[in-house]
Amino acid sequence: MPGAAPYTYDEVSYTGYPYNQTHPDRLASVATLLGLEPASVESCRVLELGCGDGGNIIPMAMGLASSRFVGVDLSERAIAKGEAIIKELGLTNISLLKLDVSLIGAGMGEFDYIIAHGLYSWVPAEVQDKVLSICGANLSPQGVAYVSYNTYPGSHLKNMSREMMRFHARNLREPGQQVAQARAFIEFLSAAQKDSEMYRLLLRGEAERLSRLSDEMLYHDDLAEVNSPVYFHEFIERAGRHGLQYLSEADFFEVEDGSLSQHLSELMRSVNAGDVITREQYMDFLKCRKFRQTLLVRSGLAIDRSMPAGRAREFYVASSVRPVSRDPKLDSATVEQFRSDRGASITTDHALIKSALLELGAAWPRAVRFDELLAGARARLSHGAAPESVDDGEEALVLGQLLLKTYAASVVELHVHAPAIAVEVSERPAASPLARLQARFGPVVTNLLHASVRIGDDAARYLLILLDGTRDRAALLEELASGREGARDFLDRNLDENLRRLARLALLAG
């Protein structure tokens, strides 16, 4: 920023977090769904460009002990923090390197999955080109690269407030002052609008967006000296020059048009004429999209976007869906609605589908194989007795179609890898070692689904720290009650509830 102190991540730290859309399981699942044969998640090589303090890549390494991980970042401070965490966890399958991505060459070897999250739009054009060059040169034959970036047309609106904030803070040298003044200035502009309804709404939206950002994120994103959005078709064209082609978005629901009306869907099909790149660009226009998380593969690979129902059998399935009604009926005459923890919902009167959704909800956060899910759903319909028919071909087809449809609507998750997660609380429960470590320093921890969860209650966080697998219920109570007069009865009543809650948050290892 002109006139400001040097813009580095050593000056203002940037806390790393897990992004489940970057996990090798997600990349491999989307690739498998579209007919490719990506490397096994259980034994792969992963490279993350701009890894920061390892908040994203370290949990991957902990969960995939037979895979190899390399993280690269310029920040000495961030790398040192990540290395300290790796040492405390005793991980031997991960290396964090303080290295300029421009120095990465073919000699670093091939990687099955390459991740560049929050990097591309915040580096100069020559470094952007190098990121794509690394993906083209270092990606294995069936490898998948993830690159996130800011896009137009949505970023035009964001850039307007960004440029005004940067101008307002141009003479301030202290990062904290820059951030505080940037927030205050957009609030001032928003409140000052009387006549221009459109401008007022736009500024109000920006003020609300900024209120959800941490200070460090606002500083490194909106106030960054470099923040270069691009149109989707331009990004894909540039990737093509490095031998790469478009596969999908990491969030698969972003490439589906199920939220569009029939008229708009038909109009979109008439405009793109089967060209997926043109279609995606028009979807950006339609949604005013400002951010993408794009998956790239080698140009010579044949992608099958037909997604036949039988392909669903290759996956584990997971969903947090629960029936809205207290007493759901499985008969085909009753319509039931199911809703996930994230608010996604599905309504159906199909008996097998309702039964399968109940199975998924009961198993959450564990993922189950397709065949296991089908068998469980059929058994539930027959009240535990053996099904009358062993020919499940038609039922498998129906279930497969439903799963692919609901995956595209973000109701269920499809996985090629299922981490060992406890659904029931064992006699000596053990939590994720990383989560226990993180709980010592704050309320936000990483669960076994590679997502951040908040443990706001101090007692629950202390309980999490104690769950190293050596303590039974009595020992846990003794530790929790130590030094807390009169607390034992309260803890005794709430221990089981808190343990079940931690299990539901995917923090207990199976």
> Could you identify the residue written with the tokens 């407030």?
161
Which residues, other chains included, contact 229 with Cβ-Cβ below 8 Å and sequence gap of 6+?
121, 149, 150, 151, 152, 155, 156, 158, 159, 290
Token pair for residue 28?
């491999």
User: What distance in Å separates the CA atoms of residue 424 and residue 292, rounded to the nearest whole number?
Assistant: 37
β-bridge mates for residue 444, sequence order: 454
Q: Report the phi/psi class of residue 228: left, alpha or beta, with left for phi > 0 and alpha for psi in -120 to 50.
A: beta
Query: Residue 467 and residue 485: Cα distance in Å, rounded?
Result: 22
> Taking the model in full, what pTM does it have?
0.91
Give per-residue pLDDT as tens, 337-385: 999 988 888 999 999 999 999 999 999 999 999 999 999 999 998 874 4
Q: What is the pLDDT of residues 271-305, one digit of tens each?
A: 766 789 999 999 999 999 999 999 999 999 999 99
pLDDT of 394 reads 87
More confident residue, 377 or 386: 377
Q: Is 116 exposed, middle or buried (0-12, 13-18, 19+ CB in 10 A)?
A: buried
Is residue 15 packed enough to be buried (19+ CB in 10 Å), middle (13-18) or exposed (0-12)? middle
- Res 255 pLDDT > 90: no
Report yes or no: 101 and 147 within 8 Å, Cβ to Cβ.
no
Residue 112 banded pLDDT, cuts 50, 70, 90: very high
Tell me the CA distances in angstroms from 476 to 184, 355, 491, one per residue in order: 47, 37, 10
The rounded distance, in Å, linking the Cα atoms of 86 and 59 is: 10
Residue 161 has pLDDT above 50, yes or no: yes
Task: Identify whether the C-beta of residue 404 lies closer than 8 Å to the C-beta of residue 309.
Answer: yes
Q: Kindly list the distances between the CA atom of residue 385 and the CA atoms of 284, 352, 380, 389, in Å, as whole numbers in the listed order.
A: 50, 15, 8, 11
